[in-house]
Amino acid sequence: MDEVEEDLRAERAKRLAQRFGGLALAGALLLLAGVGGWQGWRWWEGRQAAAAAEAFLSAAQSAAAEGADLSAAAERFAAIAREAPSGYRTLARLRAAALLAETGQTEAALAAWEALAADSGVEALYRDLATLLWGLHALDSGDPARIAARLAPLAAPGAPWRASAREVLALAALKRDDAAEARRQFDALLADAATPQGVRERATRLLQGLGS
């Protein structure tokens, strides 16, 4: 009986192997293909990031060189932004906008910062930075009330850009002749232990100019 049962088990195993062996082999092959595809993607992604890093560094060095063509540098960063992975794409967009502002192309720079601030695919920290830079450079020609409304959330306690945002809010208040609001923002800057020294010194000088 033991031999008969052993033969029956062997026969069942053989039939199962014939029925499902192909499926098991296909599954194993798919698994191997998936692992290989993932490793290939990681390799390609790493290569793209390395190429973007090299291009960004090269563009930054060219822009920093004495007598550099900053308009051409802005175009170069814009080209990097079109092709680079997300991290370097964001940095390149920020750098391109800054160079546009530096070369007097303020409207184009403001538009670039606004587009970046509105891009949900960009990390919030950089969207807020774009809003801050937009507000700072919009002070000369923009509506100070609109600037203040846009930057107010960035000045909340604990916000990463709060010191710079408060400084812009104070300047916007001065632009609309609201000395009391400007004084309030400067006082908040001086009371915040995290305020950078340079911002603190500017706030102190401006407060003195307001007669405080």
103: left (phi over 0), alpha (psi -120 to 50) or beta: alpha
Least confident interval from 10-24, 47-61, 139-153? 10-24
pTM of the model: 0.74
Q: Where are the domains of the chain?
A: 45-122, 139-212
Integer Cα distance of 161 and 156 in angstroms: 9
Poorest-confidence range of 52-66, 98-112, 121-135? Answer: 52-66
What digits encode the pLDDT tens for the residues 7-34? 445 555 455 445 545 555 545 555 555 6
Alpha-carbon torsion angle 167, 171, 177, 179, nearest 10: 30
Q: What is the DSSP letter of 104?
A: T
- Give pLDDT, residue 84: 78
